[in-house]
Structure 1
Amino acid sequence: MNLLQLKYFQVTASLQHMGKASQQLRVSQPYLSKTISSLEKELNVKLFDRKGKSIVLNESGKIFLDAVNNCFLSLDKAILDIQSISEDKNKELTILAVSCSYVLPKLLTSFKIQYPDIKFKIFQNIEPNKTSEDYDLCIFSSNENIPTSNKVTLLEEEIVLALPITHPLSNLKDAYLSNFIDDEFISLEKTKAFRKIVDNLCENINFHPNIGLECDSPSTLRSFIKNGDGIAFVPKITWGIKSNNFIKVVHIKNCNCYRYINLSWTEGKEHNESLEQFKEFIQSFFKKLNDNYVE
């Protein structure tokens, strides 16, 4: 017994006419008749009463038709459920955001206004036994802009100095790093991507900051600067640090101080519509973030 036999029986039973059923099913009448007879033989019961050239569904046939109808209804429901699960998966994005955690809430809120049905799972660290390729998208920073087929640069971001407002040089708009050789620096811990970028920058220009305080959070670092505990290298835009009553941002003279915010995805991996929509949106978001930035 197979689904094709059951479908042939269902149509024949609903029409109770071999000729009409064979036309609807687009099979020959002898083939349909043979299929029904084979089904009856397998069930060891007659499903139709033959009256001359006519057929009439008998009691056994009616019972079996109810079961067949329920069977196909269950299958149809299962198909819809499976498709629904597939659609839900296509509307869920996993993002590894190792950079830009400060602007991420605003980014996602803005995106969900346009695409409220898309769900997110956000990770700021790679889970055990996983790689960046296990996530739909990865937001990360680098000290170089290296174009590849599975990456776009979202932002070229200047690295500046953040000084407590009480610092003697807080009245300057820009300054040489040599002016801060005796200052105590606050820095992220060495495992953080931004710390590695800053260390690379300092090594290239032969500057050795006196790091007196390390932490693992940009928000904690901001608080330390505000409290006057030291100065720090910070990204100009994405950490949300601006000159105010507590902190002064100073540009670094004669130094190519930049980092790059990038978006990557797994090459060769099937991409759904939700992912493409987010890729387009995030590029537009960072362009506006840069264009609209006011110190």
Structure 2
Amino acid sequence: MDLLQLRYFQAVARYEHISRAAQELRVAQPSLSRTIARLESELGSPLFDRQGRRIRLNPYGAMFLRHVERALSELDDGRRAVREARDTGLGRVSVASETLLTVTHLMGSFRADHPRADVRLFQSTVQEMDRRLRTREVDFCVASQPLTGTNLDSVELAREEVLLAVPPGHWLDGRESVTIPEIADEPFVTTRPGHWQRALLDRLFAAEGLTPLLSCEGDEPGASQDMISAGLGIGLIPAMSREVGTETRVPVAWVEVEAPDCERVLTLVWSRDSYLSEAALKFREFITGTPFMAHRLGLPDARREAGEAGEAVAT
């Protein structure tokens, strides 16, 4: 049994699909199949149930995978620790966020304070965040939805109300609040499944036994307000977009939603078992030590109140 066999097995177990795993590993499919067969022969037990071209991890494979992932993670952490100890910098910190605009000013402030840190940023859905943390591709996730992985620690960064944005002149323009049943037939501008706006929209409608009508689905929440202003629909937008920089943003009207927990909760999430470089430790201290909203707004002094901001950012 060698390291290559274990990494091949990990990829096949993740996809439960030989050709997809081979594509990720950049190896020929027959070669990958032979490697898995040799591993099963050495262990004396099949690790997958096979039905034609379909494979499924069986109980023996699931048991073995837990040990393989721990072993490979330890090896990856050891290699990373040696590399960073050898370097003159602080090492690398990798962060995943559902939308890059949420953390743009934050990451810029951190790099300005720690120029020797190697900072990497990834845009990810909540499903990708779980995978990236599990495979240790990232150190932290800035998440707007709960992550379901095991051995995760988190700290709440911010909590903000989510409002309904409507085009100027819309029949809701001027209303203070609205219920979900009142807007059941309105077309919504939202994100694809996996993003927090879509999850919140689906949850609010499901609580009323309804399904939202969608006029536009996208991958970048920051574009929603522009599309709403253009009359393509209505949508859920964090209240911070209303509170700052109205002169530099496209015009929309804001309405409160009469529904429980119509809010966005941002959390910093990390795996408690993962190795954290000096840069990662400093990043965690940095992001949790000052008001997140101030960072998010790009204030010159991040410790000032968020309401003093003069520049808007799309959320």
TM-score, with normalisation over the residues of structure 1?
0.60
- SS of 1:271's equivalent in the other structure is coil
Match of 2:102 in 1: 103
Structure 1, unaligned runs of 5 or more: 1-80
The answer on 1:223 being equivalent to 2:226 is yes
Residue 254 of structure 1, CA deviation = 4.5
Residue aligned with 1:142, SS: coil
The secondary structure found in structure 2 opposite 1:168 is coil
Q: What does 1:235-246 align with in structure 2 at a 5 Å threshold? A: 235-237=238-240, 246=251
Q: Secondary structure in 2 aligned to 1:251?
A: strand
Bigger Cα Rg? 1
The alignment partner of 2:100 has SS state of coil
**1:152 aligned partner:** 155
Q: Which residue of 1 aligns with 2:133?
A: 132
Residue identity opposite 1:118 in structure 2: A
What is the identity, as a one-letter code, of the residue corresponding to 2:285?
A: E
Inter-partner Cα distance in structure 1 for 2:104 and 2:197: 20
What whole-Å deviation, never above 9, does each CA across 1:264-293 have from its counterpart, x for those lacking one? 111122333322221122222415359524
Q: CA deviation at 1:114?
A: 1.8
CA gap 1:139/1:108 in 2 versus in 1, 3 angstroms: same
Looking at structure 2, the residues matched to 222 and 204 of structure 1 have their Cα atoms a distance apart, in angstroms, of: 25
Distance 1:162 1:233 in 2: 6
Superposed displacement of residue 161, structure 1: 0.6
SS in 2 for 1:102: helix
Alpha-carbon distance change, 100 to 255 in structure 1, aligned in 2, over 3 angstroms: same
Q: What is the 5 A alignment of 1:66-85?
A: 85=86
Distance 2:264 2:129 in 1: 27
SS in 2 for 1:263: strand
Deviation at 1:228, TM superposition (A): 0.8
Give the superposition deviation at 1:100.
Answer: 4.0
TM-score between both structures, scaled by the size of structure 2: 0.57
RMSD of aligned alpha carbons: 3.4
What is the CA–CA distance in structure 1 between the aligned matches of 2:243 and 2:118, rounded to whole Å?
26
Paired residues of 1:237 and 1:293 also in contact (CA < 8 A): no
| Distance in 1 separating the partners of 2:293 and 2:244 | 18
> How far, CA to CA, are the matches of 2:165 and 2:266 in structure 1?
20
Conservation of the 8 A alpha-carbon contact between 1:160 and 1:236:
yes
Q: Is the 8 A contact 1:102 1:238 kept in 2?
A: no
Once the two structures are TM-superposed, the CA of residue 210 in structure 1 deviates from its matched residue by 1.9
Aligned to 1:286: 292
Partner of 2:253: 248
Give me the identity figure in percent: 21
Tell me the distance in 1 between the aligned counterparts of 2:217 and 2:277. 41
Give the letter aligned to residue 188 of structure 2.
Answer: F
Q: In structure 2, give the amino acid aligned to 1:252.
A: V
* Residue 211 of structure 2 is aligned to residue 187 of structure 1: no
Query: Which residue identity does 1:94 align to in structure 2?
Result: S
Q: Which of 257, 281, 284 pairs up with 2:262?
A: 257
**Are residues 116 and 246 of structure 1, via their aligned partners in 2, closer, same or farther at CA, if it must alter by over 3 Å?**
same
